[in-house]
C-alpha cells in the first residue's frame, strides 16, 4: 500500500494508463514505498517495546505509565479510532449516513492520524475488498494461499500485515470517483504526514505541559502516540485476518466474514464483520441488542446533536431474510 503518493497523483497516473490501454499494476512495490511502510509498521512496534521496558517505572526520561498516560492513550485511541470507523469506514467508504463537509473533513483528519494510510487510498482499497471479498483480487484475503495449515498461516500473515507491502491493486481510482471530486479530501490526503505527526506530537506536548518535564513529553509520545498507533493498526488489521477466519456467521454472505466478539470490543464495533458484509451500507454493525457497537453509539449521539443525518440501518425483515441456518464450519466466538 503506497503511503507516499496522494490521490490526485495516483489517480492521474491511472487515468493516463487507461488512455494508453495499460491497466496493469506494478509487480512489486517500489523500494522507497516499502521502506516507508516498514517504518510505519515497525516504528509503533518499537514504541511498544520501549513502553514495556519502562512499564510502571518512572525515570528522568519518562516512559512509565500512570493515570495521565492511560487517559491520554484512551483519548487518542478514541479520536483516531472513531476517525477510522466513523470517518474512513462507515461514512467515506459506505456512505451509511450524511454529514456536512466540515465534519466529513474533520473525521478524515482524525482517521489519518491513525497512520493507516491516506483517506482516499484507504477507502479505495476497502471498496475493492467488498467488491471481491475472499476472491481473486481481494487485497487482503487470508483464503487465497493454498490448502493446509501452512497455507492458512501464510494467508493470515498476508491478510494481517503482509498485504501492506504489496503494490496497490490496479484501477483503484474507478472505485472512488466521489472522493476524487472532493477538493477538501484531496488536500487532506496531501497533508497525510502532517496529521500523523500531529497525532504523535500533540499528546507528547500535552503530557509534557501537564508534568512540566521532558519526561512527560517522552511518555506522551510513547503512550499517546506510538503505542496507540500500534494497538489501532493491529486491531484494524485483525478485521482482515481474524474476522475472516474465526467467529460466528449468522448471515448469508459470499465470503468468509465472521462476527468476533473480542475483536468487536477493541475495534469499536468493527468486529461484527459478518453483519457488516451482509449489510455494508448500515451505520450499525452490532445488529442485536447484545452486540455492543461503540461506533454506532457515537453516530447516534451525533445524530441527536444534528451533526449527522439520514443514518442507515437494515429493517427487521431485511435482517430476517438474510439469516442463515446454524453452521459449525467456523469457530463461534
Decide: 106 and 171 in contact? Cβ < 8 Å: no
Domain enclosing residue 124, as ranges: 7-322
Q: Give a yes or no: residue 330 inside a domain.
A: no
Task: State yes or no: pLDDT of 314 exceeds 50.
Answer: yes
Q: Give a yes or no: residue 285 inside a domain.
A: yes
User: SS3 helix, strand, coil % of the chain, rounded to 5?
Assistant: 60, 5, 35
Q: What is the pLDDT of residues 295-310, one digit of tens each?
A: 999 999 999 999 999 9
* CB count in 10 Å sphere of residue 58: 13
- Per-residue confidence (pLDDT) for residue 146, from 0 to 100: 87
Q: What is the mean pLDDT of residues 64-76?
A: 89
Task: State yes or no: pLDDT of 59 exceeds 60.
Answer: no
Number of domains forming the structure of the chain:
1
Q: What is the DSSP letter of 66?
A: -
What is the pTM (predicted TM-score) of this model? 0.92
Report which of residues 156 and 54 the model is more confident about: 156
Cα–Cα distance for residue pair 284/319, rounded to 1 Å? 12
- The phi, psi pair for 309, rounded to 5°, reads -155, 175
Q: What is the pLDDT of residues 75-104, one digit of tens each?
A: 999 999 999 999 999 999 999 999 999 999
Q: Give a yes or no: residue 81 inside a domain.
A: yes
3-state secondary structure of 272: strand
Q: What is the DSSP letter of 89?
A: I
Q: Give a yes or no: residue 56 inside a domain.
A: yes
Question: Closest Cα partner for 58 from 69, 49, 47?
Answer: 69
Task: State yes or no: pLDDT of 24 exceeds 90.
Answer: no
Q: Give a yes or no: residue 1 inside a domain.
A: no
Q: Give a yes or no: residue 327 inside a domain.
A: no
Task: State yes or no: pLDDT of 172 exceeds 60.
Answer: yes
Q: Give a yes or no: residue 328 inside a domain.
A: no
- The phi, psi pair for 272, rounded to 5°, reads -80, 65
In order of 114, 168, 202, the CA distances from 292 in angstroms are: 22, 33, 30
Q: Give a yes or no: residue 331 inside a domain.
A: no
Amino acid at each position: 500500500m503506497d503511503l507516499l503518493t496522494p490521490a490526485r497523483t495516483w489517480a492521474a497516473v491511472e487515468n493516463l494508463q487507461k488512455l494508453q490501454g495499460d491497466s496493469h499494476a506494478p509487480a512489486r512495490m517500489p523500494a522507497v514505498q516499502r521502506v516507508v511502510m516498514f517504518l510505519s509498521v515497525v516504528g509503533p512496534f518499537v514504541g511498544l517495546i520501549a513502553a514495556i521496558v519502562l512499564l510502571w517505572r518512572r525515570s528522568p526520561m519518562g516512559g512509565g505509565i500512570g493515570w495521565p498516560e492511560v487517559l491520554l492513550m484512551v483519548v487518542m485511541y478514541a479520536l483516531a479510532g472513531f476517525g477510522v470507523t466513523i470517518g474512513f469506514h462507515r461514512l467515506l467508504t459506505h456512505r451509511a449516513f450524511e454529514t456536512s463537509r466540515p465534519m466529513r473533513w474533520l473525521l478524515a483528519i482524525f482517521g489519518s492520524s491513525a497512520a493507516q494510510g491516506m483517506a482516499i487510498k484507504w477507502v479505495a482499497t476497502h471498496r475493492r475488498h467488498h467488491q471481491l471479498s475472499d476472491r481473486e483480487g481481494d487485497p487482503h484475503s487470508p483464503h487465497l494461499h493454498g490448502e493446509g495449515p501452512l497455507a492458512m498461516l501464510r494467508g493470515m500473515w498476508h491478510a494481517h500485515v503482509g498485504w501492506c507491502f504489496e503494490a496497490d491493486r490496479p484501477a483503484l481510482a474507478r472505485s472512488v470517483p466521489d472522493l476524487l471530486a472532493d477538493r477538501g479530501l484531496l488536500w487532506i490526503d496531501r497533508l497525510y504526514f502532517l496529521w500523523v505527526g500531529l497525532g504523535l506530537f500533540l499528546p507528547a506536548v500535552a503530557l509534557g505541559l501537564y508534568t512540566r518535564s521532558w519526561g512527560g513529553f517522552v511518555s506522551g509520545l510513547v503512550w499517546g502516540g506510538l503505542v496507540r498507533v500500534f494497538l489501532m493498526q493491529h486491531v484494524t488489521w485483525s478485521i482482515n485476518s481474524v474476522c475472516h477466519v474465526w467467529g460466528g456467521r449468522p448471515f448469508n454472505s459470499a465470503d468468509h466474514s465472521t462476527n468476533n466478539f473480542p475483536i468487536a470490543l477493541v475495534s469499536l464495533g468493527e468486529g461484527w464483520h459478518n453483519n457488516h458484509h451482509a449489510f455494508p451500507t448500515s451505520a450499525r454493525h452490532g445488529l442485536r441488542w447484545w452486540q455492543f457497537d461503540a461506533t454506532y453509539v457515537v453516530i447516534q449521539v451525533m445524530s441527536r446533536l444534528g451533526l449527522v443525518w439520514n443514518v442507515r440501518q437494515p429493517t427487521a425483515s431485511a435482517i430476517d431474510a438474510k439469516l442463515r441456518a446454524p453452521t459449525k464450519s467456523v469457530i463461534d466466538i
